[in-house]
Amino acid sequence: MSDLEFVLFLLSLALIIHNLYRRKQNYSLNLPPGNMGWPFLGETIAYLRPYTATTIGKFMEEHISRYGKIYKSHLFGEPTIVSADAGLNRFILQNEGKLFECSYPRSIGGILGKWSMLVLVGDMHRDMRTISLNFLSNARLRTHLLKEVEKHTLVVLDSWIENSIIFAQDEAKKFTFNLMAEHIMSLKPGKPETEQLKKEYITFMKGVVSAPLNLPGTAYRKALKSRSIILKFIEQKMEERVKKKTEDNDQNELLGWVLKNSNLSKEQVLDLVLSLLFAGHETSSVAIALCIYFLQGCPTAVRQLEEEHIEISKAKREFGETELSWDDYKKMEFTQCVISETLRLGNVVRFLHRKAIKNVRYKGYDIPCGWKVLPVIAAVHLDPSLFDQPWHFNPWRWLQNNTRGSQNATTASNNFMPFGGGPRLCAGTELAKLEMAVFIHYLVLNFRWELADTDEALAFPFVDFPKGLPIRVQRHAL
């Protein structure tokens, strides 16, 4: 036996002993039932098979009916506990940093960057989060962002031509991208540099959601290339700010503010900006597209929205006002129900990635330290034991004095987690709701719309309309 063969023999022996030890350890644990699938691949391919976004998909359906709402599997290359249980999901999110920790696949860090908020944990996550929350605070929403959201909504809606077919998903992306690009780096909509960045971002996004194969021609490889172009662009903007010595007007944008008020390194600022652009435009644009889709199938909800928004705009006209105010936004009660129902049924973010950092016992089951844990929030939102007829778009279920069905709005809220929860609750929650409400305001006051071709939201598991949600729009002025 050569030296190399001997070393390989020792390594294999160590691996076998390690696996036997782990198996023995696991035998003494009360793991949830489940199937670990194929060696290495586990059940990942079946788990990721696309399905209609308003359902939980065949994989989840079959596993829940066979094993219950908490089961074990092998996903994304790791032994995993999957949870469709509302209580366990809340428990996982609230124990972030104590029993569980955010743990996205390594490929996400590769593309979003090692300083991205999605992959950071501990103190560094807390510092980045504080900066983001500061920029997305309620005070800034009132004083600054409401106006910006209104402006960017109108830029998009004013470009819609009477009786034409538009691709609602692209339009929603245009709106949220322009808003974030201006808020983060003062980029103006329609300018060549903004359009160029948007183009790179589309390639980048395709890679974020594709298989992480860094091979010539793959979406992932192209996205890595786009990432470096986008980073160069942001770096150039940083240099401009440094040369200008950050004057007052930069305080309204994230980049200028971070350079003046934080001690982040250049690399950290770049990843922060890149991941905020990603988190801030991809999710809320899908939510707006879903809202347009659900509403075209629910004329009663559109009529009720029209009544709510006509009343708001009439009152404004009487006072000679044109721009929406914070008080107007607060009057949009039924609109908030439509937003909640869209997020519940459409499930923009379907599950989160966590890992157990201690041995945990829950409802008699053991979750071993080091195992991946997937709280599937979509499965709770579509659970018939928690939501009446969960597959129906029913915004009235969210009214406090709900008279349609036996649903109690408070019970519904307790099981509603479209923005995650605990110390990692989405930093853009309030901005996303504001964007959706303002967009709905101008949409229902100015347009009627219908599907121009059959299309539906699919979960890949990221939610997408394969045909881009083509709608025919007719102008009206209410």
- Smallest CA-to-CA distance from 468 within 459, 476, 457 is with 457
Please choose, out of 329-337, 425-433, 444-452, 461-469, the segment that lies near ligand HEM by the rule CB under 6 A. Answer: 425-433
Minimum Å gap between C-beta 148 and ligand HEM is: 12
274 binds ligand HEM (CB under 6 A): no
Instruction: Give the N- to C-terminal CA distance of the chain in Å, as an integer.
Output: 86
Beta-bridge mates of residue 73: 80
Minimum Å gap between C-beta 332 and ligand HEM is: 16
Beta-bridge mates of residue 82: 71, 374
Please choose, out of 139-147, 272-280, 315-323, 468-476, the segment that lies near ligand HEM by the rule CB under 6 A. Answer: 272-280
> In terms of CB distance, is 269 or 432 closer to ligand HEM?
432
Please choose, out of 79-87, 244-252, 361-369, 415-423, the segment that lies near ligand HEM by the rule CB under 6 A. Answer: 415-423
Please choose, out of 5-13, 227-235, 256-264, 413-421, the segment that lies near ligand HEM by the rule CB under 6 A. Answer: 413-421
Minimum Å gap between C-beta 232 and ligand HEM is: 22
From candidates 172, 431, 437, 438, binder to ligand HEM by CB under 6 A: 431
Minimum Å gap between C-beta 277 and ligand HEM is: 8
> Between residue 365 and residue 394, which ones bind ligand HEM under the rule CB under 6 A?
none
From candidates 187, 378, 427, 459, binder to ligand HEM by CB under 6 A: 427
Q: Which residue is nearest to ligand HEM (CB)?
A: 428
> Between residue 278 and residue 337, which ones bind ligand HEM under the rule CB under 6 A?
279-280, 283-284, 287
Please choose, out of 3-11, 19-27, 420-428, 454-462, the segment that lies near ligand HEM by the rule CB under 6 A. Answer: 420-428
Angle in degrees, CA 316, 320, 322, rounded to 5? 60
Q: Which two tokens stand for residue 135?
A: 């920029």
Give the total of residues touching ligand HEM (CB under 6 A).
23
Region of 92 on the Ramachandran plot (φ > 0 left; ψ -120 to 50 alpha; else beta): alpha
Please choose, out of 46-54, 237-245, 347-355, 380-388, the segment that lies near ligand HEM by the rule CB under 6 A. Answer: 347-355
Minimum Å gap between C-beta 190 and ligand HEM is: 21
> In terms of CB distance, is 366 or 374 closer to ligand HEM?
374
Minimum Å gap between C-beta 125 and ligand HEM is: 6
Minimum Å gap between C-beta 316 and ligand HEM is: 26
Minimum Å gap between C-beta 136 and ligand HEM is: 6
One character per residue 115-154, x = contact with ligand HEM (rule: CB under 6 A)? --x-----------x--x---x------------------
> In terms of CB distance, is 166 or 432 closer to ligand HEM?
432
From candidates 237, 424, 441, 443, binder to ligand HEM by CB under 6 A: 424
The contacts of residue 317 (CB under 8 Å, 6+ apart) are: none
432 binds ligand HEM (CB under 6 A): yes
Cβ atoms within 10 Å, residue 209: 15
397 binds ligand HEM (CB under 6 A): no
- Smallest CA-to-CA distance from 333 within 400, 243, 404 is with 400
Minimum Å gap between C-beta 337 and ligand HEM is: 15
* Contact set with ligand HEM (CB under 6 A): 102, 117, 129, 132, 136, 276, 279-280, 283-284, 287, 348-349, 352, 418-420, 424, 426-428, 431-432
